[in-house]
Structures are given as C-alpha cells and as structure tokens.
Amino acid sequence: MTKYRVGVDEFEELAELEQSWMPKDYVSILTSLDITEAGKIDDDELRDMTLFALQDLTPPDAAAVLLKYKVGTKLSGGQIRNYSIDSQHERLWEQSADLSLHQDMFAVASMLNSVNAMAFPVPDALRVTLSIHCDDASKLALFNEEMDRAILVRMISAGMNESAILNRLFGDQIATGKVADADSIIWQLAVEQPDPAQLQIRITSSAYWLRALRETESFEWDSGAG
C-alpha cells in the first residue's frame, strides 16, 4: 500500500493529436479518390490537397472515406455508412460503444472539422500534466510509458468526484483494480522525472474522460486501494 500525492498542473486543449495523419495517409486517401499522381505531391502540400479533395464530396461521403481508411478493418460497410451520417451531429470519439475506436474516431473528426467546420462538430481532447510525489521515491518506478493503463485510470479517478463520467461508468471496475478499457481511455502517455523525488506525467485523452480533473488542484491516491 503506497500513497502518492498528485498535483494537477496544466491542461492543454487539443483539436487534433500529433501524427494522427502522416504523408503516407494523405497519399493513400488521395489515391482512393482516384488522384493517381498523389505519390508525386510534395509532403508539405499533401494535407491541403487532401482537404481540397474531400471538400468536393458531400459531408457523409467525406466522412465515409476517412472512416473506411482509419477503421475500415474493424467496421462493416453498413456501420461505416451509419457512422458517416452520424458524424455530422454526434461526437463519435465519445459516443461510439466500442471504446477501442475512440482515438481513431477523434482523428477522423479532426480531419472532417478541417474539411468543413460548419458540417462537423469540433473535436476536443485534453492533455493534462500531473506531478507525482511519494515519500518513498523508489515507488515512483510504478509510472513509466509501458505501464498498465488501468493504474492510471484508477489514479486519475481518485482526483474526480463520484459523479464524473469515469467513475460513473467504470466505478465497479476501478474498485477491483481491473479496467478492461483502460488502453482505450488513455490515448497517450509521456513520463519525465526531473529529480529523484518526483515525476511528471502527461496524459492525453478525450475531454470526455479528463475534464472532471479541472475541478481538482491536487489529490492523494492509495495504490493499494482496489
């Protein structure tokens, strides 16, 4: 049983995650739209060319192209059609029943909002920076970029009130210490240790999961709970 003191230091609002879309992705999308010379376009022009090409489509068709590219191996044709319509008025990166799709859905939503901000909702993710202290500095080794994400979900839930989405949906799992969807809740993690007595972690996910931490300046977490 180890107690950690956690400070909620900073929030960064994100409309798109770094490296969600790379030059090879743009080339593949353009090629799927029958732009045969896509591979010859300069890297710094590929995004704009992709946006222009998608703007020539109806909003549902543009959504279908991106959904097929990002999650086409996980969804049926019928699901892609339904999601392409829903993407205009639903926040799929929050509302899809399959949490494993959320990060990719966020990437799709980011691109679609760039294609047509009037037709698609504004995506919102948060990157929260936490400072973690422990009287036994050796226990900070629990936190690393390869760690079990369930530990992080348990920890951040301790900094939220009982009505927070995370606690309402996963309270029972958090209590057991086993959160089946933890890898889908925590999208990105970076860990730094500026000195032996403390470390900093940056967690990136949908604002849906993390916004409740805005109400908290600091909290304690007992790693033995659950």
Give the tens place of pLDDT for each residue, 155-208. 999 999 999 999 999 999 999 989 999 999 999 999 999 888 899 999 999 999
With cut-offs at 50, 70 and 90, classify the pLDDT of residue 225.
low
Cα four-point dihedral sign 76, 78, 82, 84: positive
**Local structure of 38: helix, strand or coil:** helix
Pull the structure tokens for residue 48.
Answer: 């704009």
Pull the structure tokens for residue 18.
Answer: 């770094």
Region 56-83 average pLDDT: 97
Q: Domain ends where: 69, 87, 115?
A: 115
Do 102 and 71 belong together in one domain? yes
Do 145 and 106 belong together in one domain? no
Region 61-86 average pLDDT: 97
Give the model's pLDDT for residue 12: 98
Do 81 and 154 belong together in one domain? no
Give the model's pLDDT for residue 128: 98
Tell me: pLDDT of 101 over 60: yes
Region 212-222 average pLDDT: 96
Q: Domain ends where: 81, 96, 115?
A: 115
Do 110 and 162 belong together in one domain? no
Is there a domain that residue 48 lies in? yes
Region 92-121 average pLDDT: 96
Is there a domain that residue 71 lies in? yes
Select from 209, 213, 139, 215 the least CA-distant residue to 181: 209
Is there a domain that residue 188 lies in? yes
Do 167 and 201 belong together in one domain? yes
Q: How does the average pLDDT of the chain come out, rounded? A: 95
Q: Domain ends where: 115, 144, 177?
A: 115
pLDDT tens-digit series, residues 30-58: 999 999 899 999 999 999 999 999 999 99
Residue 27: domain span: 23-115
Do 79 and 134 belong together in one domain? no
Do 130 and 111 belong together in one domain? no
Do 86 and 146 belong together in one domain? no
> What is the number of domains present in the chain?
2
Give the model's pLDDT for residue 1: 75
**Local structure of 80: helix, strand or coil:** helix
Q: Which of 1-5, 25-29, 43-47 has the lowest mean pLDDT?
A: 1-5
* Sequence-ordered strand ranges (E) for the chain: 3-14, 125-133, 188-195, 198-206, 218-222
Tell me: pLDDT of 226 over 80: no
Do 158 and 195 belong together in one domain? yes
Share above pLDDT 70 across residues of the chain, in percent, rounded to a whole number: 99
Tell me: pLDDT of 143 over 70: yes
Please give the Cα distance from 120 to 84 (Å, whole number). Answer: 11
Please give the Cα distance from 154 to 152 (Å, whole number). Answer: 5
Do 149 and 69 belong together in one domain? no
Q: With contact defined as beta carbons under 8 Å apart, do 143 and 120 qualify? A: no
Give the model's pLDDT for residue 36: 85
Note the pTM of the prediction, 2 decimals.
0.93
Do 134 and 206 belong together in one domain? yes
Is there a domain that residue 120 lies in? no
Do 40 and 84 belong together in one domain? yes
Tell me: pLDDT of 218 over 80: yes
